[in-house]
Amino acid sequence: MQFSELALYLEKLEKTSSRLEITRILSELFEATTSAEVDKIVYLSLGILAPNYEGVLLNLAEKMMIRTLALAFNKSADEVKSLYKKSGDLGDTAEELSQSTVHPSQFTVTDVYEKLLDIAKDNGEGSQERKIEMTSSLLKNLDSLSVRFVARIPVGKLRLGFSEKTIIEALGISDTEYNIYPDIGHIAYLTKTNNLKNIKPKIGVPVVPMLAARLNSTTEMVAKMGQVSVEPKFDGLRIFIHFKRKDNIVKIFTRNMNSIPLETFPELLGVGKFIKAEEVILDSEAIGIDPTSPRLRGAGVFLDFQKTIQRRRKHNIKKTAGEIPLQFQIFDVLLLNGKSLINEPYINRRMELEKIIIGGSLLRVDENTVTKDPEIIKEMHKKYLKMGLEGVVVKKANGKYVSGRTGWNWVKMKEEEGQSGRLSDTLDCIVMGYFTGKGKRAQFGLGKILVGIKDGDVIRTLTKVGTGLTEAMLVEIKNRLNKLQSKEKPKEYEAQKDLIPDVWAVPSLVIEVTADSISKSTKHSLGLSLRFPRFLRIREDKGAGDATTLGELIWWPYFSAKYGLAFVGLLLPASLIQFFVNREVSRYTAITGKGIWSGFLSLGKYFTYPLFLLCFVNFLWLGGYASAGGTALFELTRFPLSFSDRGGTLFWSYILIIGFSGIFLFSKIIYKSLENFMKVVSAITVLGLIFSAFQPEVRVFAGEFFKYFFNPLSIRWPTTWEASDSSHLVTAIAFAGMGGFLNLLYSYWMKDKGVGMAKYTSKVKGLLIKEEEEVEEEKDLVFADTEENKIMWKGWIKFLNFDSLLAVTINAITAGLTTLLAFAILFPKGIFPTGWKITVVQAQFFESSLGYWGRILFLLVASAFMIDTWVGLTDGVARQFADFTYKVRKLGKSFRFWYYFWLGFLILTSLITITLAQPGVLITIIGVISIFAFVLYIPALWYLNYIKLPQEYPVFIKPKKWESVTLLLTWIFYLAIAAGYLWTVF
């Protein structure tokens, strides 16, 4: 057949949209074809030269075709490009160009096919030029209509409205043969020559894979499929393994029926050792495993898709295979010892699988749950998401292996019911410009849009979006953007050169976008991008100034990361400034030997009573620390299995609280045991954080990070501000250096440490420790103005400064490191921890550097850290309260009585309050109140230490002038924060 004749058919096909009509025309075409050419016609009309698994590639596509057309029709590449922009189709462009030239010779279909095959075969040095020349001479010798279609073939876009399925229908056959012998050209040939007979899957020939439809309602699943098998969905590569023991044949195919050379996955060379059968075809998902993780019962820790895909390579295989070992999650068997299992019910196929697979670190049969209960599907879905997997695949229990996505046999579910993407929040992005569409989209003049996010004053590209747009929306957006059109790139935009849209738009239009996850990007100027982005809607209510900023993309586990770099600059001053408060608190105790509340009380009840009330309310919520520890333990143990996050957290929190309350009973000097325990826990935490921070993936971010860390002046505030944001920010500032009422605890720890005059007062001991002498209220210990005392005083002050500075510095370091890690690890992955998840997510810091055991270690340390904080606070607060009540009302009870009274009260309160809210919320309450506490009591500290005590004690204890200046500045700092907070909230 002359190619020109085929072209007439193709033109007719292109014009018709009805599939019935297309099918009719195709059968007419096949009727008119000889059996010798039918395969070539089929291939060419699909834009291919051979079935995928033969790996015939032209290596000539869009850009090269533009050059080809320029060469063939004597135009400049720019001229071709601009025509292409307009038509959106290189075939149409080629046709248009070819009309002005003569086409001397004619080619048959076979001629064209063979010439293209020659082009495909060429490679090596100079091949690009030769390919272009060959293609160009082919086009020059065809009539214009043929040129249209031949030019489209290399680009792989025939746009005729049909593909394999329709061809099969046109051939008048069922798809069963094609599905197990997916060479459409050969099938057409066999049909034409009446040789198509029943065949079965064959080793070395791929099977068209069965795909999962999507549904995110579990009840619908059960309604459609009845009894189902629920299985994890891994984020790896779909791999078919063909194995024949005789001659040790191993062949591998992908989802698209491409064959992969066995050298790519050397671990499969010896796969026969793990298969108890002579001959099998297995369906599986290959997924990379973290080689540093221990393999518990053979199972490893999964790497993400980006890592796994690196295994698909030709070079450096050995090294990469060591870094990214693959685990094959097997879930189906299609051929077993010569018998096709395709028509067996799924459950039976699985039973066979379990018999023949020797599970280990190479092959593993997916775990599954057979059920009819939508709730159980939901539970499994939740569980697998928690394990870091993609979701679930739900399979009809008695379904056959049906190639393609037809019917409700396999169903996948990624996101929660009712959600549109797996990202926890949708993003509001600024539309930076648009690209003219290709093919069908060309008529709308817009095919996709370039979208970005504000990063300070600059707007950086995040992703292109082209899916999710209806045709009406294409038009709508185009019209809007034309009004916002800008000849040049707006100067606040930053975009790399292969991301220049056809039309720039001034920042104004905001759209809502969703996606599955956030990935690191080298292509987009933001350094991040979206996996599977899709358009949701135009945000009519938002202008460019309201769009999501870079800072809003993360939520620092310690309340700060939500503002990303914008917050970082505040961190260092916020942690260090508390030094001045700590120092005054401890100074008072060192001089008088008394707790700080005694000092406040000496100032009068009208000041102290309200302050105490505030303090009292504040510490009702300290159970938040215990429940944060509980979250970590629940995550670690996953026990009790059936409990929700909340239930499990409460369960472990109660165990922790009750367990650790023992310290109060048995400890000789409570402060000592707390501090020793804390030392160990802190050391592990800090070392782990430092170690994690030195991992290469974190180091990359360090430069950028520290620039902001040490230069608070470069803080860029997020443009949107919600009341809850203010609370988080204020809390972060308060906690950066352990602030608010917590600073007052210093006084009591100093007392127990016996610093200064406190060494002459008694210490609080455990309830069950026999006490020779009752702990009493402190005596008034005033020392004389002697040279000896002066020297002693200098020593105390040195110690106080050192101790306070040490505490503040450690806080600053941990806070800084955690922010860095959040920025480097959580941010790129798009993990925004909230509520119960805060502690758990931080485990990823350790996991990223120390692997599986790092995670375990972190969760253990985190729970220890949190419960220890709770114990420490409960003890300290009980003393504050006891100090206060003992002094205020002489009820005839001892200090020790009041201490244990408040201890009991606080433990009880913790047990109750942790049921009311998540740990994050509880801790936020403490943080916000703390800021106001500073404003109230810093002046009181000043009065006590700078005015009152110098009147009663020797003059040498009077602080220096500049010290009162630092205290004043500190007070102003907190005053400003508190005022700012009130201002944004109200």
Residues acting as catalytic residues: 233
Q: Report the interhelical angle of 961-985 vs 919-942 (nearest 10°).
A: 140
Identity of the residue, 137 or 163, whose beta carbon is nearer to DNA in the bound complex: 163
Query: Does 467 contact DNA by CB under 7 A?
Result: yes
Query: Taking Cα atoms as reference points, which of 607, 182, 647, 195 lies closest to residue 403?
Result: 182
Work out how close the CB of 392 gets to DNA at its nearest, in angstroms, rounded to a whole number.
12
Options 118-126, 290-298, 815-823, 947-955: segment touching DNA (CB under 7 A): 118-126
Using CB under 7 A, pick the residue from 140, 295, 405, 539 that binds DNA: 405
Query: Does 829 contact DNA by CB under 7 A?
Result: no
* CB-neighbour burial class of residue 648 (10 A; exposed 0-12, middle 13-18, buried 19+): buried
Q: E strand or H helix at 617, and its extent?
A: helix 605-618
Work out how close the CB of 692 gets to DNA at its nearest, in angstroms, rounded to a whole number.
21
d(CA 720, CA 732): 18
CB-based contact 293:316 (threshold 8 Å): no
Q: E strand or H helix at 432, and its extent?
A: strand 427-435
Identity of the residue, 50 or 781, whose beta carbon is nearer to DNA in the bound complex: 50
Query: Does 713 contact DNA by CB under 7 A?
Result: no
Work out how close the CB of 519 gets to DNA at its nearest, in angstroms, rounded to a whole number.
4
Options 349-357, 441-449, 621-629, 864-872: segment touching DNA (CB under 7 A): 441-449
Options 124-132, 183-191, 540-548, 602-610: segment touching DNA (CB under 7 A): 124-132
Phi, psi for 314 (deg, rounded to 5): -105, -35
CB-based contact 524:500 (threshold 8 Å): no
Options 353-361, 452-460, 528-536, 708-716: segment touching DNA (CB under 7 A): 528-536
Provide the 10 A C-beta neighbour count for residue 974: 26
Query: Does 258 contact DNA by CB under 7 A?
Result: yes
Size of the residue set binding DNA (CB under 7 A) = 97
Provide the 10 A C-beta neighbour count for residue 646: 16
Query: Does 404 contact DNA by CB under 7 A?
Result: yes
What residues from 299 to 318 belong to the interface with DNA (CB under 7 A)? 305-306, 309-310, 312-316
What residues from 175 to 204 belong to the interface with DNA (CB under 7 A)? none
Query: Does 521 contact DNA by CB under 7 A?
Result: yes
What residues from 490 to 509 belong to the interface with DNA (CB under 7 A)? 497-498
Query: Does 58 contact DNA by CB under 7 A?
Result: yes
Using CB under 7 A, pick the residue from 34, 74, 227, 406 that binds DNA: 406
Identity of the residue, 19 or 672, whose beta carbon is nearer to DNA in the bound complex: 19
Using CB under 7 A, pick the residue from 201, 533, 740, 927 that binds DNA: 533
Work out how close the CB of 445 gets to DNA at its nearest, in angstroms, rounded to a whole number.
11
Query: Does 127 contact DNA by CB under 7 A?
Result: yes
Which amino acid, 819? T
From residue 416, give the alpha-carbon distance in Å to each of 211, 390, 420, 960.
Answer: 21, 11, 8, 61
d(CA 451, CA 461): 6
Work out how close the CB of 17 gets to DNA at its nearest, in angstroms, rounded to a whole number.
4
Six token digits for residue 812 = 């600053």
Identity of the residue, 82 or 337, whose beta carbon is nearer to DNA in the bound complex: 82
Query: Does 256 contact DNA by CB under 7 A?
Result: yes
CB-based contact 263:251 (threshold 8 Å): no
Six token digits for residue 115 = 């010439």
Query: Does 76 contact DNA by CB under 7 A?
Result: no
Work out how close the CB of 329 gets to DNA at its nearest, in angstroms, rounded to a whole number.
12
Work out how close the CB of 362 gets to DNA at its nearest, in angstroms, rounded to a whole number.
19
d(CA 541, CA 510): 9
Using CB under 7 A, pick the residue from 31, 102, 125, 338 that binds DNA: 125
CB-based contact 40:113 (threshold 8 Å): yes
Residue 726 makes CB contacts below 8 A (sequence gap 6+) with 980, 981, 984, 985
* x-marked contacts with DNA along 443-462 as a string, rule CB under 7 A: ----xx--------------
Using CB under 7 A, pick the residue from 192, 396, 534, 594 that binds DNA: 534
Work out how close the CB of 420 gets to DNA at its nearest, in angstroms, rounded to a whole number.
5
Identity of the residue, 342 or 670, whose beta carbon is nearer to DNA in the bound complex: 342
Query: Taking Cα atoms as reference points, which of 809, 842, 816 lies closest to residue 568?
Result: 816
451, β-bridge pairs: 431, 463
Using CB under 7 A, pick the residue from 1, 7, 49, 60 that binds DNA: 60
Identity of the residue, 445 or 623, whose beta carbon is nearer to DNA in the bound complex: 445
Work out how close the CB of 921 gets to DNA at its nearest, in angstroms, rounded to a whole number.
32
Q: E strand or H helix at 823, and its extent?
A: none
Query: Taking Cα atoms as reference points, which of 331, 308, 303 lies closest to residue 393?
Result: 331
Provide the 10 A C-beta neighbour count for residue 156: 12
Using CB under 7 A, pick the residue from 202, 520, 542, 948 that binds DNA: 520
Displacement of CA 696 from its chain's centroid (Å): 18
Query: Does 121 contact DNA by CB under 7 A?
Result: no
Work out how close the CB of 309 gets to DNA at its nearest, in angstroms, rounded to a whole number.
5
Residue 548 makes CB contacts below 8 A (sequence gap 6+) with 427, 428, 429, 453, 454
DSSP state of 417: T
Query: Taking Cα atoms as reference points, which of 596, 594, 623 lies closest to residue 611?
Result: 596
What residues from 856 to 915 belong to the interface with DNA (CB under 7 A)? none
Identity of the residue, 19 or 707, whose beta carbon is nearer to DNA in the bound complex: 19
* x-marked contacts with DNA along 323-362 as a string, rule CB under 7 A: ----------------------------------------
> Which residue carries 């280990």 as its tokens?
360
Identity of the residue, 404 or 904, whose beta carbon is nearer to DNA in the bound complex: 404
Query: Taking Cα atoms as reference points, which of 767, 733, 756, 728 lies closest to residue 921?
Result: 728
* Terminal Cα-to-Cα distance of the chain (whole angstroms): 80
Identity of the residue, 190 or 221, whose beta carbon is nearer to DNA in the bound complex: 221
d(CA 169, CA 171): 5
Work out how close the CB of 489 gets to DNA at its nearest, in angstroms, rounded to a whole number.
17
510, β-bridge pairs: 430
DSSP state of 296: B
Query: Does 464 contact DNA by CB under 7 A?
Result: yes
Work out how close the CB of 259 gets to DNA at its nearest, in angstroms, rounded to a whole number.
9
Query: Does 17 contact DNA by CB under 7 A?
Result: yes
DSSP state of 620: G
Options 511-519, 701-709, 873-881, 915-923: segment touching DNA (CB under 7 A): 511-519
Query: Does 781 contact DNA by CB under 7 A?
Result: no
Query: Taking Cα atoms as reference points, which of 142, 73, 80 lies closest to residue 113?
Result: 142
Identity of the residue, 405 or 958, whose beta carbon is nearer to DNA in the bound complex: 405
CA angle 809, 810, 812 (to 5 degrees): 60
